[in-house]
Amino acid sequence: MKIFKIKLLPAALLLALSGGVGTVNAAVFVQCPGDDNGNAIWDEGEVQPAANTKCMHLIAGDSFAVMSDDNPLYIFGYGDQTGTLASEVIKEGILDAEWPGPTVELEQNDEFYLSLTNVGTVIRPDLFDPHTIHFHGFPNASAVFDGVPEVSISINMGATLTYYYNVVEPGTYIYHCHVEATEHMEMGMLANLYVHPLQDVTGCVDALGVPNGNCSVATRKGGTDPGAPTGYTYNDGDGTTAWDVEQPLQVSAFDSEFHDASLFVQPLPFAALKGDYPQINGRGYPDTINPGIMPPPADNWASIVGADGEIHPAGKVTGNPGETLNNDTPTQLLDSNATVTAGQTLLLRLSNVGLDRFYTLTAPGLTMKIVGTGARHMRNAAGDKNLYREVASVNFGGGETHDVLVDTTGVAPGTYFLHATELHQMSNLTQLDGGMMTEIVVQ
């Protein structure tokens, strides 16, 4: 059994050495207007140029995540180092990838400067993979900021690429790495991204931008109308996409064989790829409803039996059952809870980043109305007809996003499940009653 003991100094040294091979002058270099010290935030004495200037600094690297049956899986991912000085980013970013990546939440008309620093994959020192960010669904994308390495550029280890996005279309998107897409996405370089509409600020307006009285300013933007919702999903002009509580839910599945092959430096099974840990926001049930962050990943205490009967012994990664992985840094930060008061409307920002199959979600006892697909309001081209669909299930494949409203008017208080209708997806490998399932609590 290989033993992986991760120490920061050798890891950083390794990165420096490997970075020295082909990356002359490589350096962390954050571009954020008004930010002088390169930490991607405006400290005292620094001036944010405008309220709609937004900056974020992500790292791309590796770490571990623990499945709900205690199985630790090696991952690639993004971590958030916004606020970290450039000189500290490599040190802080190593083994700090999150699963899923940090959620990116934006406002329409933001100018978004997104810096990506590649801190390398220290668990796999034989790799020197570049990384990118693909803002999935971005309108009128240019090749340079689209993040597809074959037709664009990707960032090498130890260096930073800053993406610029002028954000004009509200809706539910995705971001993910596009380098060796099958591998890097299966390994976990996936995350939620969504954009709030200008209507939150203005209330309903007509085509000329003049308030039409159909709906008022959203409370999340200071609205004081007692009937105002927290927010809107799109610039609908009629208030039909209003919501009180929102929850992004990103469905995916890890193939444990693939992750173990990567960890143990084996050929990757592309043709045989099959997700066996269905998840929502990077967790299988019941961890989906554990509020807040999960504890730092630890090596498995007990042996785990795989789908084909193969046995992963206790301490699969380090040989030491229970040993903390990842320098004690938590990696699974996002729960999938939604709590609403009866009568409120819940917005589910659904995205599917599964690599090998379609999924169908349902929420027995609740109704669902799809008001947006592919980060666009479900309205016809002429703009005179809403094409909303009232459904009991949402079937979607990888790359599809749906904005779904759940109106809880008249719903009896209680706990409702949201789960995959492919009921065998409700498992964590061989452990039943898990997987692609979470809870919606109506108070």
Partner 1 sequence: MIKIRQKTVRLLSMLLLGMAMTTIVSQSMAAGHDIRGIKPQGGTTFNLYAFPFNMNLPDGSSMHMWGFGDMNGGANASHPEGNGYSLPQYPAPTLIVDEGDTITINVTNFGVPEPVSMVIAGHKANAVGGTPGLVTRQAGLNETVAYTFTANQPGTYLYHSMGGINPGLHSEMGLVGALIVRPTGFDSAGNRIAYGATTEYEQEFLYLLSEMDPDIHVQMERGHYSHFTNSDRHAAIWFVNGRVFPDLFQGDYNPLFPHQPYQSLSLSHAGDRVLVRAVNTGHDSHPFHFHGENLRFIARDGRLLSSDGGVTPDLGRSDNTLNSAPKQTVDMIWTWTGKDLNWDIYGPVATNGCTDSDHNMLDDATGAACHDNICIDVNPVDGFDDVNHEYCADHGKAIPVSLPGVQDLTLGGWWSGSPFLGDTGDLPPGEGGLNPFGGYFLVWHSHAEKELTTWDIFPGGSLSTMVVVPPYVPIQ
- Closest C-alpha to 401, from 208, 235, 250: 250
Instruction: Based on the shown chain and the rule CB under 8 A, indicate whether residue 378 belongs to the binding site for partner 1.
Output: yes
Question: Is residue 381 involved in binding partner 1 (CB under 8 A)?
Answer: yes
Nearer to partner 1, 31 or 367 (CB): 31
Q: How far is the CB of 291 from partner 1 (least distance, A)?
A: 31
Distance separating alpha carbons of residues 217 and 404, to the nearest angstrom: 21
DSSP 294: P
Mode of pairing for the β-strands spanning 345-352 and 245-254 = parallel
Q: How far are the Cα atoms of 2, 61, 86, 118 from residue 97, in angstroms, in the given order?
A: 22, 6, 17, 11
Which range of residues in 146-154, 191-199, 319-327, 427-435 is near partner 1 by CB under 8 A?
146-154
The CB-of-301 to partner 1 minimum distance in angstroms stands at 32
Q: How far apart are CA 176 and CA 77, in angstroms?
A: 9
Of 375, 404, 420, 442, which one interacts with partner 1 (CB under 8 A)?
375
Question: Is 307 an interacting residue with respect to partner 1 (CB under 8 A)?
Answer: no
Q: How many residues does the chain have?
A: 443
Q: What angle do CA 399, 191, 126 make, to 5 degrees?
A: 100
Cβ nearer to partner 1, comparing 411 with 420: 420
Helix (H) / strand (E) containing 362: strand 359-362
Interface size with partner 1, residues (CB under 8 A): 75
C-alpha of 357 from chain center: 19
Q: Residue 173 is inside which H or E element, if any?
A: strand 171-176
Draw the binding track, 9-48, toward partner 1 (x: CB under 8 A; -: no contact). Answer: -------------xxxxx--x-x-x---------------
How far apart, in whole angstroms, are the C-alpha atoms of residue 440 and residue 346? Answer: 9
* Contact map string, positions 72 to 101, toward partner 1, x by CB under 8 A: ------------------------------
Residue 21: helix, strand or coil by DSSP? helix
When asked if residue 441 is in the footprint of partner 1 (CB under 8 A), the reply is: no
User: Could you tell me which stretch among 74-82, 100-108, 269-277, 416-424 binds partner 1 (CB under 8 A)?
Assistant: 269-277
Q: Does 365 bind partner 1 (CB under 8 A)?
A: no
Of 132, 112, 130, 57, the residue nearest 88 (C-alpha): 57
Site for partner 1 in 390-409 (CB under 8 A): 395-401
Q: Which of residues 160-189 bind partner 1 (CB under 8 A)?
A: 160-164, 166, 168, 179-183, 185-186
Q: Which residue's CB is nearer to partner 1, number 191 or number 228?
A: 191
**Contact letters for partner 1, residues 119-138 (x by CB under 8 A):** -----------x-----xx-
Q: What values do phi and psi take at 355, rounded to 5?
A: -95, -15
